[in-house]
Amino acid sequence: MSINLGPHTTAPLASVGVSLDYGSFTTINVSQGLNNIVGPTALNIEQTEGKSTSVVRLNVEGWQNNRINLESVLLNSVCMHFFSQSNFELTWDCIEDAKLLPYTPLKLAFQFVGDSLSAGQFLPEGVDQAWPFLTGERFRAEHNVNAQPGAALTTDTEQTEDTGYFYTTDHNFTTPWDFQRDQPPPTHVVIHIGANDAAQNVSDTEFVQVYTNFLIRLRNLYPHQPVFVFTPWGWPSADGSISQYYQGQYQIIVEQRHKAGDEQVFLVNTTGWVTWEDVFPE
């Protein structure tokens, strides 16, 4: 299997994770042009012998330098040599007579919204090692992670820092996104955001209003889906203390939605989930 990537692909390369039949992801680097997504043996992935159908998943890992412009998928295009370090043999790895079949989505589909704390920033495998991605894998769910370091809910471009589309000439950021094209639609929505609003000194009152308006807009898109509002896990310190932001405000946001008759918005209190011992030393 090979994928042909167009000119909007990140140069010189983008790192992607490849998974076969919902197994673990293996990192490969791709670039503009034809990229061989080598067979399961070369990827060190186990394949069931005699299996008639397989699911190949491809996921961009990076929190930056993460664009792939997919133009086409080629099946049976090449057979690849690969070198086995275990027995020092050069062999072929081929999959013959493959056909592209319609994909049947999983029953669960999670939509995550966040910032650097959800984007896998600085992790070796990017978002593939971040908690939203791992949560989706744990529950065997489809999962979209819309998260970028620096992103906030406030709309001032100087505060949100979500400038990837704003400064990129080959994205039409002025055209509203067509959410009907997101298939499958999410069955659950999870939101963990607010750190960058707090860093930009957005007041409690403004944050509550902006967050509430955001939930109202989400309800227009997803009328019945449960929405999980995560409180911050804060910034742990070596002395055991945890610095918090917008304390009590997330509770107010959820209570307002309940008063409006929306009982499918749930508060997830993450207090104590992340301590100093959980912080990576670097």
Tens digit of each residue's pLDDT (9 = 90 or more) over 205-257: 999 999 999 999 999 999 999 999 999 998 888 888 889 999 999 999 999 99
Higher-pLDDT residue of 90 and 142 is 142
Higher-pLDDT residue of 95 and 184 is 184
Q: Which candidate, 150, 175, 178, places its Cα nearest to that of 162? A: 150
Taking every pair of Cα atoms in the chain, the longest distance, rounded to a whole number of angstroms, is 68
Mean pLDDT of the chain, nearest integer: 85
**CATH code matching the domain that covers 109-278, chosen among 3.40.225.10, 3.40.50.1110, 3.40.50.720, 3.20.20.70:** 3.40.50.1110
- Domain residue spans of the chain: 2-93, 109-278
Residue 92 clears pLDDT 70, i.e. is over it: no
pLDDT at position 100: 85
Q: Which residue has the tokens 């309940």?
A: 258
What's the gap between Cα 248 and its chain centre?
A: 28
Higher-pLDDT residue of 91 and 216 is 216
Token pair for 210:
């902006």
Residue 88 clears pLDDT 70, i.e. is over it: no
Distance in angstroms (rounded) separating the CA atoms of residues 169 and 9: 13
Distance in angstroms (rounded) separating the CA atoms of residues 12 and 249: 44
